[in-house]
Chain A
């Protein structure tokens, strides 16, 4: 094992901001900040429960813009995919199908659910984390020979 690009300070501050956002949404609107759940309710809308979702999702993109505008060259200033287009499509489909069937993702189960000590979210988080570790091991160490 070799430790690379470890950024504990920005990671903790960023994580705390995410936590504050989730707490704010719960306090004001009484909703859980699970991104896949909020987004799924736009793609497959439930009557009268859509407009706040659109604004929250738009906010995510605006938050990204603000970071790039403030950062200008510092931190992450561009995006580079780690796999080619066919795998991006497979990955996107799996994330969409998996989070819909499993009713949540890293935010809803991993942060909000665990904070409420939900056994359902704990099982979900352990399952997707373990599968993701295994997937990366297969892709990086078995298929591509440790590249």
Chain B
């Protein structure tokens, strides 16, 4: 029962998110690229989307986290805040370049699948391939680091 309630909640949150992105017109890549074009035809709307989302979240999040646990789960699974490493910067540069090129970040891209359009399917497929490739690459890299670490320990021993 809790399981199906929890799945329904995820579906509802997704619908609300996709609907919000659409209302904000972030599904229009030209609008996104215009936001990024300060020295040309500038459309400041995206800043208001982030502002609206941030204000609601900045108020709600601390209140929610005061609860010991979520309504339908055992614990809050929140990413760590303090670790600023190379990955964050390298990933940010690659993502920013892709976002600026086509005007699609993951949320609007997936929401736009609702338009069943060839250009969306193209970029979405490339996004899936990129995600999968990077996940495999990272897993291999972690393995490599682990083995190297063990080899070093063996030498010391």
Contact = CB atoms under 8 A, between A and B. Distances in A.
- The answer on A and B forming one complex is yes
Interface of A: 1-8, 10-33, 35-36, 39-40, 43-44, 51-53, 55-68, 71, 75-76, 78-83, 85, 87-108, 110-121, 123-137, 139-141, 146
Contact of A43 (B26, B73, B135): B135
A108 B50 CA distance: 11
Given A12-B48, A64-B18, A64-B112, A92 B125 contact: yes
7 contacts: A30-B70, A30-B73, A61-B111, A64-B114, A81-B119, A105-B105, A107-B107
Interface in B1-52: 6-31, 33-34, 36-52
A14 B22 contact: yes
Contacts, number: 509
Contacts of A31: 73, 77
A19 B127 contact: no
B42 A2 contact: yes
Contacts of B43: 3-7
Interface of B: 6-31, 33-34, 36-58, 60-61, 64-65, 67, 69-84, 87-107, 109-115, 117, 119-120, 122-136, 138
A15 B20 contact: yes
Q: Which of A15, A35, A87, A141 has the most CB of B within 10 A?
A: A15
Nearest to B24: A14
Contact of B71 (A28, A59, A75, A102): A28
B26 A146 contact: no
Given A88-B123, A98-B92, A60 B28 contact: no
